[in-house]
Amino acid sequence: LGIPLAKVPTIIEEGRSGLAEKIESVAPVEGIEEVLLRLKAGGYELGILTSNSRETVDKFLKKNNLDLFDFIYSGSSLFGKDRVLEKLLKDRKLKSKQAVYVGDEIRDIDAAKKVGVRIVAVGWGYNTGQLLRKRNPDYLVESPKELVKIVESLGKS
């Protein structure tokens, strides 16, 4: 991208600040509340791995009555999401085959594959479904209803 490495932390922080200012106007994707409630009722442990600030994530979850998560890992890593995902698995005492990663970016797919975690890419977020498909996620869904079916089927395997 031609960005000097020394400027990357500043650019990341500017992006976080911009999102924090706009979080009040961000709405959850339609149907996601029902999915989260169903998974939570089914005994699934839910977590968030994000490069956004914890404060911003908490604000969004509370505003939208979605504070159903067992853990939130926030913060950026210049070393990649795969390292953060490995740390999360270690901290939670999980094997890679026990986890399902749901992501909306190609870097989510890359990180999950590198660590050996099954990846469900969602086409309603940061990257389009068409772009995500090119990275060959284990699953690609376009709606929350599809997501819950896949996660529940994986939980049984």
Query: Which residues are within 8 A (CB) of 99 and not within 5 positions of it... i.e. 6 or more apart?
Result: 89, 117, 118
Helix (H, G, I), strand (E, B) or coil at 55: helix
CA distance 85 to 114: 10
Per domain, the residue ranges of the chain are 5-155
**Model pLDDT for residues 113-135, shown as the tens digit of each residue:** 999 999 999 998 888 889 999 99
CATH number of 5-155: 3.40.50.1000
**Model pLDDT for residues 38-68, shown as the tens digit of each residue:** 999 999 999 999 888 888 889 999 999 999 9
